[in-house]
Amino acid sequence: MKKLYYRIWEKEKNEDGQSMLEFVLVFPIFMLLLAMILDFGWLFYTRLNVENSARNAARVACVEYDRVAYDDGNKCPEVTYSPDGTVTSYGKTYSLDACKSVLNGTASDVEQANSGLSDQEIRILNQVRNTIPSNFTDVSVTLSYTYDKEYLTSPSAYDYKVANRSNGDVVVLVEGTHHAITPLVNWGADASEDHMTRKLRCKSVYKVEANSFSNG
């Protein structure tokens, strides 16, 4: 009888050891799969919100545009030029970090004036700021109107009228850095790149609605 009990005890002991070994082998794989699910879910959530931010901004920019990326002094679109005077971008790029105090309403009168942002631009940029998640940083927003490019590249000379932006579309491009939980979402990055972050860019295009403005 003692031998029988001893054999049963030895069998249960071996099975316990085997179960522990299996757990040790399987547990890292399980945690890796769990991390992948969480990280890619977090990436999907971030991208969805960035896409929504671009869409929300475009909805405002298609109806409010007479003081958006517009040089009121020279009565022409405000675009990006290189040092030699060549147009490098038919749009205007805003950094949310640079104008953070203006957007959240804590800027002084001097900061507000120095920012050069119109009330329309503030409303558009706040659509992005209020929609993107907190883990999305280094955010830039580029606003461009297709009519502005047509005007600047047209061989015929005619006066620019901001109301004519309704003849084209508004393009809103939101770019920034997504901060991941693990390096898995940027596994294929170069050795010099940060594997814990991933660049995201989302674009939204809306037809500009016809409107009447005092500056033409």
Give pLDDT tens digits for 93-130: 999 999 999 999 898 888 888 888 999 999 999 999 99
| Per-residue tokens: 19 | 């179960």
Q: What is the pTM of this model?
A: 0.81
Residue-wise pLDDT tens digits, 23-74: 677 778 878 788 888 888 999 999 999 999 999 999 999 999 999 999 888 8
Half-sphere exposure of 193 (CA within 13 A, CB side): 13
Q: In whole numbers, what is the pLDDT of the chain averaged over residues?
A: 84
Centre a 10 Å sphere on the Cβ of residue 99 and count the other Cβ atoms it contains: 21
Number of residues in the chain: 216
pLDDT in tens, 196-205: 899 999 999 9
Classify 215 as helix, strand or coil. Answer: coil
Strands 169-179 and 197-207: antiparallel
